[in-house]
Structure 1
Amino acid sequence: SCWITYTSEAVHNLLREGLNDSPLYNGQIQSIGPRYCPSIETKIVTFSDKTSHQLFLEPEGETTHEYYLNGFSSSLPLQIQLNALQAVPAFKNVHIFRPGYAIEYDFFDPRQLNPTLETKRVKNLFFAGQINGTTGYEEAGGQGIVAGINAHINCHGGNPFTLRRDEAYIGVLIDDLITKGVDEPYRMFTSRAEYRILLRQDNADERLTQRAYDLGLASSERMILLAEKREEVDRIIDFARNFSIKADRINPYLETLNTAPLKHGVKLIDLLTRPHIDLETMSREITPLKELLSNIKNRKEEIIESADIKIKYEGYIKREKLMADKINRLEDIRIKDKFNYNGIQSLSTEARQKLTSINPETIAQASRIPGVSPNDISVLLVLLGR
């Protein structure tokens, strides 16, 4: 089981006694740490008004008595860590197997990388993970997949593999890194993506399985499963579009659901756009729908959820797809090595500097560079004859 406990003022006072010995506060470490998982000493300094901080105990495994203490990362001396922890009532008899410690590492400016994560200056040299200025396991793993795929392609031939911002969060992460650079450890948040409705977890297979299959990373079995899921989802949506509901027939049931009655007949799909109304709910009253859903043999819950989402958010999904398609047309306009930006006087000085430094692959990437204005993009499009 996992557990939660809290620090106290007594704990904080013990921690403050060791600040002079903390590399984070005695000058040994100068760099900026990760914003979203600060050390316990950073918490008590930055949030000095807080009288307690949450601590999470997470078991290290089924066959060990060790717990990982989340929320108490530290660079303080071992004895200070032990004294502070033992001041927490739940940890009176705690034993530390491995004390917390601080690390500092160099990183490579990711603006010197291509979208494949190959370095611009050294061919066949790929970087992924913390060296690119990121923090987090998934962030490193996502980069590792892309770098590994492209390293293989460089050795065996093929087109470079990249992911767009509307295809995957990995695509957002890499584009942010190579276009904007970093001034602190980068963590991938959903809020960094402008196409969050397209980048849902229920459609990850639809977005990426074909790409993986084309690379030899996904099996034929996975493609068959994807095709079966799409077929089932489409069948449900087609049924909802075409099945008519009479107001007098369904209104008594709608009343039990505390939703407004119908004034006239509608298609089932119109009813499913209401809050708190979904396929499972309506299948209890509509026998043909119940039969349709009961015929789903595999991954029933996943398929119904996908159909519900596509029905409820259809308008938003279409609107976001149109926005993505508009930007993707600019992704198709390649400009890498086509211009001597310093010689284009109609570009702003900042744009010339940024474009020369980053040398973007496409017009779309250029438009995302901080300091490159819409007017600068218009100049480039005119020069391209667009």
Structure 2
Amino acid sequence: MFKEMYDVIVVGGGHAGCEAAAAAANMGSRTLLITMNLQTIGQMSCNPAMGGIAKGQIVREIDALGGYSGIVTDRSAIQFKMLNLSKGPAMWSPRAQNDRMRFAEEWRSALERIPNLDFYQEMAVGITMEKERITGVKTSLGLEIRGKSVVLTNGTFLNGLIHIGLKNFGGGRAGERASTGITEQLVSLGFDTGRMKTGTPPRVDGRSLNYQKMIPQPGDESPGKFSFLDTPTLSTQRECHMTYTNPEVHDLLRDGFSRSPMFNGRIQSIGPRYCPSIEDKIDRFKERERHQIFVEPEGWNTVEVYVNGFSTSLPEDIQFKALRSVEGFENVKFFRPGYAIEYDYFPPTQLTHTLETKLVKNLFFAGQINGTTGYEEAGAQGIMAGINAHLKVSEEEPFVLRRDEAYIGVLIDDLITKGTEEPYRMFTSRAEYRTLLRQDNADLRLTERSFKLGLAGEERLERVRVKEDQYKELVGFFKKTSFVPEEVNPILESLDSKKVTQGDKLVKIFSRPKVRMHHMAMLNSVSTYIKEQKLIPEALEQAEIQVKYAGYIEKEKANADKLQRLENIRIPKDFDYMPLSSLSMEARQKLSEIRPATISQASRISGVSPSDISVLLVFLGR
């Protein structure tokens, strides 16, 4: 069945696996995607939504790199919102509710259209090696499939254990068995491993809910989208709703704490800090009398509803009683109860920035196996692992994104240099250059680099060039074109902005906080220019951001340039830190373990002080 050798074998068909397989195959590698169930490729295991704060930026970056997450999201969306519009553009974050079944269907269809990609349904139970290099995978039927590189994207399936109250059973997801064998083999090879936990709320019958008692949560009036390509924009949207827990709900939940695996010691592993279970919320925040519950439809043509904010592993009878005391849920019927799941992960400090393992050549990890949580974080790692697996077997230079180039760069750098002991989730606060890393300019930052890799196509590159040329010319127009007070003062007066007494350049007016592009378009000179040049909306938005935030953008660029000087100072791979008595012992141990590639990376390792960096610079002759 598998006589020929694959260039890249991807294990797992979740968000990381899909992006990894697509990237490697589209770049020209003969690729195999092996997964335990071909019917669950691209499955949304938890909430039926993509994006959100910082996560939306990641999806747009994946799209700019030629990935599929944004396209699939747009084609299966049922609602779209741009979050944080009251704040600056660095904080704007797109989010979409999705049709769960259509999302998986779109992923499957997209993958099946890639000529270089093969599929196989079976459990991978181990890897095969020669010396320290990967040679393929072993399956539960005893097959050995040969591959020049392997990307492991096992999600929550590695020795997965599902908890509902005092009951637990093996599984990687509700209704699906766990994956065994891989952890044990990797540990025998010298890999460190740990356990993490995540959870999911009940799914309920929407016909049993009273939406009249809830607060409607509509989408944007003019919905946007994720992909920079010409994907469909929503013309109609489904409403979500919001309700609240109450003291009665909390008391009912507390009654079950003695049977909670989280409180009785059955669950030892750490769950996501920023997505706690409902029992964790009422225990940690005892002073709060209520918590938000978001009621999210699972699709266009289903009555199934996702109860966001009610993640739990309490016994099913406690879940049912408590949820029936939530306003609007008095007659709720369950499709299935919530549960917690424990699974194996491998501390990501065992990887390089390409996501290749340090112990086994040509073996890559991506997704929850690295200790992250979230579809978006998984997809980002997947596309980077797929790209670098292809480049490695093609003997080409690796592809690494810096912290000032992408949220994906921040994500991977955090994992590699700092590791994580709890499920890692991306936030805008993790990025020190978030003014540069906006969702609106992901295409400007990344598409040309992806095109050079052979991943992004001509259509993407042409769209970026049009957008870039138009916004730069428009900014130049504002800088060189003058206004007369008589024309701008009525606009300024309507905005309660101070009137002007003499003419100046348009950029001076546009820089004022209350003045937006649609106000500028009221001026005859601007309106005429926009029409004559046939400017696209994306160019108008980009020009406005560049004018209003020019000072902040330039400052961050300068800071990034300073950091880049340290990035250029490389540390030899075999550098011996232990004899350097001027370094603290903690620094010597951490540096020896993580093996940073550059001084900049070394400076971000927890426990390595500025004085340690100074010592390193001296020893490196800098």
Instruction: Using structure 2 for the length normalisation, give the TM-score.
Output: 0.60
Amino acid at match of 1:292: Y
In the alignment, which residue of structure 1 is the partner of 2:593?
357
1:118 and 2:356 correspond: yes
State how many pairs are aligned: 384
1:233 is paired with a residue whose SS is helix
Q: Give, as a single letter, the amino acid of the residue that structure 2 aligns with 1:289.
A: V
What's the CA shift string for 1:155-177, capped at 9, x where partnerless?
22211111100111010011111
Other-structure match for 1:330: 566
- What secondary structure does 1:343 align onto? coil
Could you tell me which amino acid in structure 2 is paired with residue 27 of structure 1? G
1:2-151 correspondence to structure 2 within 5 Å: 2-151=240-389
1:200 corresponding residue in structure 2: 438
Match of 1:292 in 2: 529
Question: How large is the RMSD of aligned CA atoms in angstroms?
Answer: 1.6
Structure number with larger C-alpha Rg: 1
Determine the C-alpha separation between the residues in 2 that align with 1:168 and 1:253: 38
- CA change 1:48–1:251 in 2 (3 A) is closer
1:79 alignment partner AA: D
Aligned match of 2:611: 375
Q: Which amino acid aligns with 1:349?
A: M
User: Which secondary structure state, in structure 2, belongs to the residue aligned with residue 199 of structure 1?
Assistant: coil
Q: Write the mapping of 1:266-285 to structure 2, written as runs, cut at 5 A.
A: 266-285=504-523
Match of 1:165 in 2: 403
- The structural deviation recorded for 1:263 is 4.1
> What stretches of structure 2 of length at least 5 have no aligned partner?
1-238
Contact 1:336 1:360 in 2 (8 A): no
- Partner of residue 542 from structure 2, selected from 306, 322, 332: 306
Tell me how far 1:89 sits from its aligned partner.
4.1
Amino acid aligned to 1:310: Q
- In the alignment, the residues of structure 1 paired with residue 492 and residue 333 of structure 2 have an alpha-carbon distance, to the nearest angstrom, of 59
Deviation at 1:252, TM superposition (A): 4.5
User: What TM-score results when the alignment is normalised by the length of structure 1?
Assistant: 0.95
Residue 49 of structure 1 deviates from its aligned partner by: 2.3
The 1:325–1:251 alpha-carbon spacing in structure 2 relative to 1, beyond 3 Å, is: same
User: For structure 1, which runs of at least 5 residues remain unmatched after alignment?
Assistant: none
Higher strand share: 2
The residue type paired with residue 272 of structure 1 is F
Q: For 1:100-130, what per-residue CA distance to the aligned partner results, in whole angstroms no more than 9, with x for missing partners?
A: 0111112211111100111111111111111
SS of residue in 1 equivalent to 2:364: coil
**Cα displacement (A) at 1:296:** 4.6
Write the distance in 2 (CA, Å) between the matches of 1:220 and 1:264: 47
How much has 1:278 moved relative to structure 2? 2.9
State the percentage of identical aligned residues. 58
Structure 1 contact 336–359 (Cα < 8 Å) conserved: no
Q: How far, CA to CA, are the matches of 1:257 and 1:77 in structure 2?
A: 57
Which of residues 235, 239, 254 in structure 1 aligns to 2:473? 235
Greater shift, 243-252 or 121-130, is seen at 243-252
- 2:71 maps to what in 1? none
Supply the distance in 2 between the matched residues of 1:223 and 1:330 (Cα, whole angstroms).
31
Could you tell me how far 1:207 is from its partner in structure 2? 0.5
Task: Name the residue aligned to 1:182.
Answer: 420
Give 3-state SS (helix, strand or coil) of 1:57's partner.
strand
For 1:341-356, what aligned pairs fall within 5 Å after superposition?
Answer: 341-356=577-592
Q: Which residue of 1 aligns with 2:130?
A: none
Q: Highest relative contact order (Cα 8 Å, sep 6+), 1 or 2? A: 2
Counting only pairs closer than 5 Å after superposition, residues 249-260 of structure 1 correspond to structure 2 as 250-260=488-498
Q: Which residue type is aligned with residue 125 of structure 1?
A: L
SS at match of 2:320: helix
